[in-house]
A and B are shown apart, each in its own frame.
Chain A
């Protein structure tokens, strides 16, 4: 009798309660994540503007993305370019700043907070600040250039320079976040290893190169993988930067800042909404992100093998 009671009690704790506590998440996941994903996949085979009848078009939407839609490829190129010229700098700066801060005796918390602030600043404010900084006629950056007898640049009107401004914005925003991650990693490295290196006569640079950097490799790989995924989902920064007036154009000058997600948003929800085609674009973005993530996971696995 006791045994039966005990089994019943165990079931309560191993089956009933876990289900009760996990159920809300699972239900929400199915309703708000899985169902929309599957529905989008289904929609991608239709021509549908959001109202009226859906028309089945098979793979036509995908064929158009691959063969005709210059904007998809352009947005992919824009996104990769802005990723490449921004995230490496943010990662390097984050690592270097964390290395300096870890050795700082006084004011460490202050500098940590200052560097982390951009990450928690509201994106709307960041967009406005950068618009004011880089304005062609009244921006601070051009004023400084003029003081140095250099002609001001059309930062927000020139396609390439606009991408550079977005890259600066991303680097500025994420450096503090990466610094915090690296600082946590540095803190976990045993002081004994540093002590031993110093006893062996290693200098600060050697210690950084031979001890700190290798031991932070797992964190670096994590940062690179999440940066790649986050970078491919770039939307807020360029959108806020080039959506400051009613006459702003989609994607900034020459669509140079049109990212994958901005292009998807415009195709799916713009003035000429095509939800079917937009869904196909979303599926393609999903595939691109999965591929990049798989490469990242491979890197992480390789790292674990090494350890």
Chain B
């Protein structure tokens, strides 16, 4: 009898074991399937301003885990009663997880981080609150002109607020700049590199003087990224993807740089490529503001004082960026909005983003305050990089329109950068033809030219 009872209990345990984990509200979220996902409630600090909270928990999925945690920590100093749960999701899996959650009807996070190259794709999911309407009433005209329409969809809805405007310039190593160009002054260097063709001339000079050892740039992928975002030719116009128009300038320049050994053969973003930040063979790096922490300081911790920032010959450009949007199925939209509003649209939040994350929010009026930006940066040899980024660079950035095929074309751009560097005989025309064929194969519901 005991054996029978034991058998029944064991069978029940087996069945229960298999079906548990399917019902808990929190477990239905797609990131739970990610073994690497880690969650942590932000710690509540002291209430600085004091605000009536609801005791609800706002969930954010993000690949920028540490920065989002810092935002949550400071937010909780003002709103101690709103818990922020930050869920780490790998960047490469992020959009897929959101899609899967939507398709399967699983619970979505309250706040979604939208990568700038996928904004249209996020918009098409139809899962976001329109922040231009009640109760949010965000007027996107308060943002910088080059960025104000980025998260505005065709129906006029605003699906997210940018965390940072991501102005981008060219970073350089001062010692190598002095050695090869006779100066490390950013203005002088901008004059030397006033025209895109100057990169070819000066890159050849660097090769000759270094006996073939030194290069102006380390990776074709990094150069392609810069040239692509600096080119404001719209990718999508009237239902047509203008692949050739968008990519011709980038590919031509890339081939010319390859032929003259202006750019080395590293693959952008790999550990090997990142190690070049601290070597004495590579001089310049296309540099969005966020790359200072992610790439330069992370890979050249001992390089303080040896870095400078200069204006690219193409003018400033905006590269990368993330918007925060509220899902329309969220049961704590008010709290989610309080988080986004405080972090990105109040002066206190903007100062926190500036001081803790090195991010600059998109609201123009904060920058009118002369004390909001400015100051010497030791790491950059005393250069006032904030003023440089948020005055000089921002004022030279052209407006980029977004397309649902941005990410697809960017993948093809990187594919071509690898192909061009692998095959010295591949001409720009060959590369463009190859890219066009790829684009036509991958984009089937629009005309591609």
Residues of A that sit less than 8 Å from B by CB: 17, 20-21, 23-24, 27-28, 49-52, 64, 68-71, 131-132, 135-138, 154, 156-159, 243-250, 253-255, 269-273, 275
Report the Cα distance A246→B272, complex, angstroms.
Answer: 14
| Cross-chain contact B100 with A269 (CB below 8 angstroms) | yes
Which residues on the A side are within 8 Å of B264 (C-beta)? 137
With A135-B272, A247-B221 already in contact, the answer to whether A21 and B11 are too (CB < 8 A) is yes
With A157-B421, A157-B422 already in contact, the answer to whether A243 and B411 are too (CB < 8 A) is no
| Cross-chain contact B103 with A275 (CB below 8 angstroms) | yes
Report the Cα distance A255→B221, complex, angstroms.
Answer: 16
Most A CB within 10 A of own CB, among B264, B275, B442: B442
10 contacts between A and B (CB under 8 A): A50-B103, A135-B270, A135-B272, A137-B264, A247-B268, A249-B411, A253-B422, A254-B418, A269-B100, A270-B408
Residues of B that sit less than 8 Å from A by CB: 7, 11, 14-15, 18, 91-92, 95-96, 99-100, 102-103, 118, 121, 124-127, 221, 225, 264-273, 275, 404-405, 407-408, 411, 414-415, 418-419, 421-422, 441-444
With A157-B265, A247-B414 already in contact, the answer to whether A272 and B99 are too (CB < 8 A) is no
With A70-B441, A71-B441 already in contact, the answer to whether A247 and B125 are too (CB < 8 A) is no
Q: Which residue of A lies closest to B266 (CB)?
A: A137
- Report which of B100, B265, B270 forms a contact with A154, defined as CB distance below 8 A: B265
| Cross-chain contact A271 with B126 (CB below 8 angstroms) | no
| Cross-chain contact A24 with B419 (CB below 8 angstroms) | no
Which residues on the B side are within 8 Å of A269 (C-beta)? 96, 99-100
- Report which of B14, B95, B267 forms a contact with A245, defined as CB distance below 8 A: B267
Q: Which residue of B lies closest to A64 (CB)?
A: B444
Which residues on the A side are within 8 Å of B99 (C-beta)? 50-51, 269, 273
| Cross-chain contact B14 with A271 (CB below 8 angstroms) | no
Which residues on the B side are within 8 Å of A275 (C-beta)? 103
Which residues on the A side are within 8 Å of B271 (C-beta)? 131-132, 244
| Cross-chain contact A271 with B407 (CB below 8 angstroms) | yes
Report the Cα distance A136→B273, complex, angstroms.
Answer: 11
Shortest beta-carbon distance from B317 to chain A in Å: 16
Report the Cα distance A64→B11, complex, angstroms.
Answer: 48
Most B CB within 10 A of own CB, among A69, A135, A138, A245: A245
| Cross-chain contact B11 with A157 (CB below 8 angstroms) | no
| Cross-chain contact A137 with B407 (CB below 8 angstroms) | no
| Cross-chain contact B422 with A271 (CB below 8 angstroms) | no
Shortest beta-carbon distance from A137 to chain B in Å: 6
The 6 closest A-B pairs by CB, nearest first: A245-B269, A50-B103, A271-B407, A249-B415, A269-B96, A157-B422
| Cross-chain contact B269 with A254 (CB below 8 angstroms) | no
Q: Which residue of B lies closest to A50 (CB)?
A: B103
| Cross-chain contact A253 with B103 (CB below 8 angstroms) | no
| Cross-chain contact A246 with B15 (CB below 8 angstroms) | no
Which residues on the A side are within 8 Å of B422 (C-beta)? 154, 157-159, 253
Q: Which residue of A lies closest to B115 (CB)?
A: A271
| Cross-chain contact B411 with A250 (CB below 8 angstroms) | yes
Chain B binding surface, main DSSP class: helix
Which residues on the B side are within 8 Å of A49 (C-beta)? 124
With A138-B275, A275-B103 already in contact, the answer to whether A131 and B418 are too (CB < 8 A) is no
Which residues on the B side are within 8 Å of A272 (C-beta)? 121, 404-405, 407-408, 442-443
| Cross-chain contact B18 with A24 (CB below 8 angstroms) | yes
Report the Cα distance A254→B442, complex, angstroms.
Answer: 14
- Report which of A23, A131, A136 forms a contact with B265, defined as CB distance below 8 A: A136
Shortest beta-carbon distance from B415 to chain A in Å: 4
| Cross-chain contact B102 with A244 (CB below 8 angstroms) | no
- Report which of A50, A131, A245, A254 forms a contact with B419, defined as CB distance below 8 A: A254
Report the Cα distance A211→B411, complex, angstroms.
Answer: 54
Which residues on the B side are within 8 Å of A157 (C-beta)? 265, 267, 418, 421-422
Q: Which residue of B lies closest to A253 (CB)?
A: B418
Which residues on the A side are within 8 Å of B442 (C-beta)? 71, 272
Q: Which residue of B lies closest to A245 (CB)?
A: B269
Which residues on the B side are within 8 Å of A154 (C-beta)? 265, 421-422
- Report which of B95, B103, B415 forms a contact with A271, defined as CB distance below 8 A: B95
Most B CB within 10 A of own CB, among A17, A50, A157, A247: A247
| Cross-chain contact A249 with B418 (CB below 8 angstroms) | yes
Which residues on the B side are within 8 Å of A50 (C-beta)? 99-100, 102-103
Report the Cα distance A100→B95, complex, angstroms.
Answer: 50
Q: Which residue of A lies closest to B17 (CB)?
A: A24
Which residues on the A side are within 8 Å of B411 (C-beta)? 249-250
| Cross-chain contact A156 with B96 (CB below 8 angstroms) | no
| Cross-chain contact A244 with B421 (CB below 8 angstroms) | no
| Cross-chain contact B408 with A271 (CB below 8 angstroms) | yes
Shortest beta-carbon distance from B401 to chain A in Å: 17
Report the Cα distance A244→B102, complex, angstroms.
Answer: 27
Report the Cα distance A17→B8, complex, angstroms.
Answer: 9
Shortest beta-carbon distance from B8 to chain A in Å: 8
With A158-B422, A245-B268, A246-B269 already in contact, the answer to whether A51 and B126 are too (CB < 8 A) is yes
Shortest beta-carbon distance from A21 to chain B in Å: 7
- Report which of B92, B118, B126, B443 forms a contact with A243, defined as CB distance below 8 A: B92
Report the Cα distance A255→B269, complex, angstroms.
Answer: 19
- Report which of B14, B91, B124 forms a contact with A51, defined as CB distance below 8 A: B124
| Cross-chain contact B267 with A156 (CB below 8 angstroms) | yes
Report the Cα distance A267→B394, complex, angstroms.
Answer: 37
* Sample of 6 further A-B pairs with CB below 8 A, known A159-B422, A255-B415: A17-B7, A50-B99, A131-B271, A154-B421, A157-B418, A245-B269
Q: Which residue of A lies closest to B63 (CB)?
A: A246
| Cross-chain contact B18 with A28 (CB below 8 angstroms) | yes
Report the Cα distance A249→B125, complex, angstroms.
Answer: 24
Q: Which residue of B lies closest to A157 (CB)?
A: B422
Report the Cα distance A50→B266, complex, angstroms.
Answer: 37
Report the Cα distance A253→B271, complex, angstroms.
Answer: 18
- Report which of A24, A51, A245, A250 forms a contact with B125, defined as CB distance below 8 A: A51
Which residues on the B side are within 8 Å of A250 (C-beta)? 411, 415
With A137-B266, A156-B267 already in contact, the answer to whether A249 and B15 are too (CB < 8 A) is no
Shortest beta-carbon distance from B405 to chain A in Å: 7
Report the Cα distance A143→B248, complex, angstroms.
Answer: 36
Which residues on the B side are within 8 Å of A247 (C-beta)? 221, 225, 267-269, 414
Which residues on the A side are within 8 Å of B221 (C-beta)? 247
Which residues on the A side are within 8 Å of B127 (C-beta)? 51
| Cross-chain contact A248 with B441 (CB below 8 angstroms) | no
Q: Which residue of B lies closest to A135 (CB)?
A: B272
Which residues on the B side are within 8 Å of A136 (C-beta)? 265-267
Report the Cα distance A269→B95, complex, angstroms.
Answer: 9
Most B CB within 10 A of own CB, among A71, A132, A271: A271
| Cross-chain contact B419 with A253 (CB below 8 angstroms) | yes
Report the Cα distance A255→B442, complex, angstroms.
Answer: 12
